[in-house]
Amino acid sequence: MEQGIRNYLVVTVGYWAFTITDGAIRMLVVLYFHLLGYSPFEVAMLFLFYEFFGIVTNLVGGWLGARIGLNLTMQIGMAMQVMALLALTAPDALLSVPYVMFAQALSGIAKDLNKMSAKASVKTIVSKGNNSQLFKWVAILTGSKNALKGAGFFVGAILLEWLGFRGAMASLAGLLFLVMLLTIILLPSGVGKMKSKPKFTQVFSKIAAINYLSAARFFLFAARDVWFVVALPVFLYEVLGWSLTYIGSFLALWVIGYGMVQASAPNLLRSSHQDQGPGGRSARLWAFILALFPVGIALGLHYGWPADVVLIIGLVLFGIVFAVNSAIHSYLILAYSDHDKVAMSVGFYYMANAGGRLLGTVLSGWAYQNQGLEGCLWWSAGFVLMAALLSFALPELTEKTP
């Protein structure tokens, strides 16, 4: 067990370091390209390939991790992120839209390789049948990741001011490279590697619970991003007149708080999940609760209540309940997966996650332009209800659930 804890800590530290660079690079690109004269929507579209290639990466990455080992796919992800960071140190003359989209595509591939590998590794580290420990460890890993991504927003803004755009990118690349070397030295080889070489067609799960959970995850993250990614920052900037620093700080604090709640989910749900961990009933309940908040915010804006108060209170409540939903999903994908096929199951699941983010990102710009923030919120409520309805197919957990 001591070896398992050490491996878990190494995986977690590697995931943390990567996550800080992921949050920082997003804030750096947003702020720097706004200063270059890009509109908020144009800046958001720079991340289009980042989301699109996440779908492809998760589909292929799970299969690759099962063949070569999760530690190796995690380190490949780190190496690609270092390359993406260094690519953005190019002179302004080279920083065209296609060039930046290519660098963001590289970063998106790296991020999803790293995330899939780190989360699937937890399943291989925890002893079979210990669902309570599995829920706790995956919640801590996922929650701390989201908190550190918010911290990465701050790191990116500070480095931009201290070192400039290129200096910030270079320093982040150096930090991540050192952490990558640490994981190479400390992690054993072959973590999560299947004994037989899986065929690519095996990435499509034959476990019904995993397919339904992946579909619910798709709609859950579309529901968040359809109003959070483009519509909310643009609304805060153009309608409420918030400064860019204020917007960045507020969203960073929201992500940090969201991550803290996610890490605390096992304690919040202790009375209901006991030793087995949450199951389909918990996923349904919390999804229906979540649907109330985009509806409430939309109605508040519609009836002319103070927009800043409605959004701040609504965002806090939405973030808390969304974090619990996400923590339940992140646990269930591991609990429903076979030990030997966990890499491919997690890859398939996060492919759906990336697909939901892509739909939400694109729809956020279109819906805000045509229907305003209220329209985006109604789309969000509809997506959450779809996730809740799909959760009716999710079973409760037993030792033989898969």
Q: What is the DSSP string of 335-388?
A: HHS-STTHHHHHHHHHHHHHHHHHHHHHHHHHHHHHHHHHHHHHHHHHHHHHHH
Q: What pLDDT is stored for residue 33 in this prediction?
A: 82
CB-based contact 16:145 (threshold 8 Å): yes
Nearest to 373 by CA among 326, 280, 308, 316: 308
Nearest to 376 by CA among 228, 239, 216: 228
Residue entry with tokens 């994981």: 183
Q: What pLDDT is stored for residue 375 in this prediction?
A: 94
State the Cα–Cα distance between residues 72 and 275, nearest whole angstrom: 33
Q: What pLDDT is stored for residue 339 in this prediction?
A: 60
Phi, psi of 7 (to 5 degrees): -65, -40
State the Cα–Cα distance between residues 121 and 126, nearest whole angstrom: 9
Q: Which two tokens stand for residue 229?
A: 């990614």
Q: What pLDDT is stored for residue 402 in this prediction?
A: 43
pLDDT per position as a tens digit, 54-79: 778 877 776 676 677 777 888 899 99
Low-confidence ranges of the chain (pLDDT < 50): 1, 400-402
The gap from C-alpha 56 to its chain's centroid, in whole angstroms, comes to 15
Q: What pLDDT is stored for residue 123 in this prediction?
A: 65
Q: What pLDDT is stored for residue 173 in this prediction?
A: 95
Q: In sequence order, which residues have a C-beta less than 8 Å from that of residue 283 and are 6 or more positions away?
A: 213, 216, 325, 328, 329, 332, 391, 394
Domains and CATH numbers, the chain: 2-393 (1.20.1250.20)
pLDDT per position as a tens digit, 103-144: 988 998 888 888 777 767 776 666 665 667 777 777 777 777
Q: Which two tokens stand for residue 39?
A: 């509109």
pTM of the model: 0.75
